């Protein structure tokens, strides 16, 4: 069983993945595309604009992004350790920030800036 953050976007579509990756790198959290729609990728390969599922390699492990209409699901395994959960939070924040989206939380929709201070994030992003 996995854990997921859901990110909703005002324009109904997720931002380009390149924008999410660049934003995370700017905040000292580099990620690498490892798979696109079930196919392995080469280092530095740019995924097509119309991807359905992407797996990102992080320092903590693999994070999966899945498009669902107007939402993006950010998913990890349910038994993820704290560093992996921090990576998951970072990717969800990056997607929301890059696309002007909001993260669905039990208490309602949360702005990326609020989310970032309410969950554990990687130490490298605390600057």
> What pLDDT was estimated at residue 63?
98
CA nearest 74: which of 82, 84, 47? 84
> What pLDDT was estimated at residue 58?
95
Q: Residues 8-24: pLDDT tens digits?
A: 998 777 899 999 999 99
Query: pLDDT band at residue 125, thresholds of 50, 70 and 90?
Result: very high
125 within 8 A of 86, measured Cβ to Cβ: no
Query: pLDDT band at residue 4, thresholds of 50, 70 and 90?
Result: very high
Over residues 105-115, the mean pLDDT reads 95
> What pLDDT was estimated at residue 14?
85
> What pLDDT was estimated at residue 57?
95
What is the pTM assigned to this prediction?
0.95
Over residues 29-51, the mean pLDDT reads 91
Sign for the CA dihedral angle at 103, 108, 109, 110 comes to: negative
Per-residue pLDDT at 27 exceeds 80: yes
Across the beta sheet with 32-36, what order do the strands follow? 39-40, 32-36, 53-57, 62-68, 71-77, 2-8, 102-105, 108-110
Over residues 84-109, the mean pLDDT reads 96
For each of the domains in the chain, give its residue range(s) and CATH number, in order of start: 2-120 (3.30.160)
Query: pLDDT band at residue 50, thresholds of 50, 70 and 90?
Result: confident
């Amino acid at each position: 069983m996995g854990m997921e953050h859901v990110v909703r976007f005002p324009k109904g579509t997720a931002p380009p993945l390149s924008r999410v990756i660049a934003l995370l790198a700017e905040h000292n959290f580099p990620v690498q595309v490892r798979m696109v729609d079930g196919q392995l990728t080469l280092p530095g390969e740019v995924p097509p604009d119309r991807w359905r599922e992407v797996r990102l390699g992080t320092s903590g492990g693999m994070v999966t992004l899945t498009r669902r209409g107007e939402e993006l699901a950010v998913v990890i395994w349910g038994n993820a350790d704290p560093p992996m959960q921090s990576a998951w939070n970072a990717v969800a924040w990056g997607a929301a920030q890059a696309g002007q989206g909001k993260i669905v939380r039990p208490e309602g929709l949360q702005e990326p800036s609020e989310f970032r201070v309410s969950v554990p994030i990687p130490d490298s992003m605390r600057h």
